[in-house]
């Protein structure tokens, strides 16, 4: 079974989804402030890893490192939900099927508990 990552068209397609997702995130005042002091290389790395993880691509991060990466950000459900919404919109924009989008969101949801502030 090909991963969604492969179905979408691998790395070149992911780069486009990443750019689109990134634009949505930075235009959204619910979450844009978290990236205020993030340099562009890290920003890009974050988005690419995020999308690759969601779509079953390479360079996946484990739950443990996700908790560490977001430690101290005090992320609330409203922030996580906003990011999930942008992921959904970016995938839909590139004509990913509703079924594949749901699967990607399900994957991302497995990290909610690690990423949110407790
Ligand atoms: C399942 C959801 C998420 C995944 C897979 C993910 C992935 C990652 C990864 C891999 C890093 C480390 C990047 C690095 O070390 O360079 C990171 C850092 C970061 N994430 Fe996320 N993330 C998620 C959710 C969120 C949310 C909801 C927010 C805020 C609204 C957020 C904001 C950030 C910020 C600000 C950084 C630090 C960037 C920096 O070093 O300046 N992430 N994330």
Q: Whose CA is nearest to atom 20 of ligand 1?
A: 70
Q: Whose CA is nearest to atom 16 of ligand 1?
A: 42
Using a 10 angstrom Cβ sphere, with 0-12 exposed, 13-18 middle and 19 or more buried, the burial of residue 103 is middle
> What domains are there in the chain, each with its CATH number?
4-115 (1.10.490.10)
The greatest distance separating any two alpha carbons of the chain, rounded to the nearest whole angstrom, comes to 40
Q: What pLDDT was estimated at residue 61?
A: 62
CA distances from 29 to 25, 38, 55, 61, 74 (A): 8, 15, 25, 26, 16
Number of continuous H segments (helices) and E segments (strands) in the chain: 7, 0
Q: Whose CA is nearest to atom 4 of ligand 1?
A: 50
| 59 Rama class: left (phi>0) / alpha (psi -120 to 50) / beta | left
Q: What pLDDT was estimated at residue 91?
A: 96
Q: How far is the CA of 45 from the centre of ligand 1 (A)?
A: 9
pLDDT tens digits, residue range 36-56? Answer: 999 988 888 888 888 888 899
The string of DSSP letters for 30-60 reads TTGGGGTT--HHHHHHHHHHHHHHHHT-SSP
Q: Could you identify the atom of ligand 1 that is nearest to the CA of residue 61? A: 10
Q: What pLDDT was estimated at residue 19?
A: 92
pLDDT tens digits, residue range 76-113? Answer: 999 999 999 999 999 999 999 999 999 999 999 999 99
Report the mean per-residue pLDDT for the chain: 91
Q: Is the pLDDT of residue 23 over 90?
A: yes
Q: Whose CA is nearest to atom 1 of ligand 1?
A: 108
Q: Is 49 in the pocket of ligand 1 (CB under 6 A)?
A: yes
Q: Is the pLDDT of residue 63 over 60?
A: no
Confidence of residue 118 (pLDDT cuts 50, 70, 90): confident
ipTM comes to 0.92
Q: Which of helix, strand or coil describes residue 69?
A: helix
């Amino acid at each position: 079974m090909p991963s969604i990552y492969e179905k979408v068209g691998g790395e070149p397609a992911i780069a486009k989804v990443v750019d689109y997702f990134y634009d949505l995130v930075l235009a959204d005042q619910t979450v844009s402030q978290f990236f205020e002091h993030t340099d562009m290389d890290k920003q890009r790395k974050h988005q690419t890893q995020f999308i690759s993880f969601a779509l079953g691509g390479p360079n996946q991060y484990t739950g443990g490192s996700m908790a560490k990466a977001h430690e101290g950000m005090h992320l609330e459900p409203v922030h996580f939900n906003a990011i999930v919404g942008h992921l959904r919109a970016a995938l839909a924009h590139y004509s990913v099927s509703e079924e594949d989008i749901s699967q990607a969101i399900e994957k991302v949801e497995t990290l909610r508990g690690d990423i949110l502030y407790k």
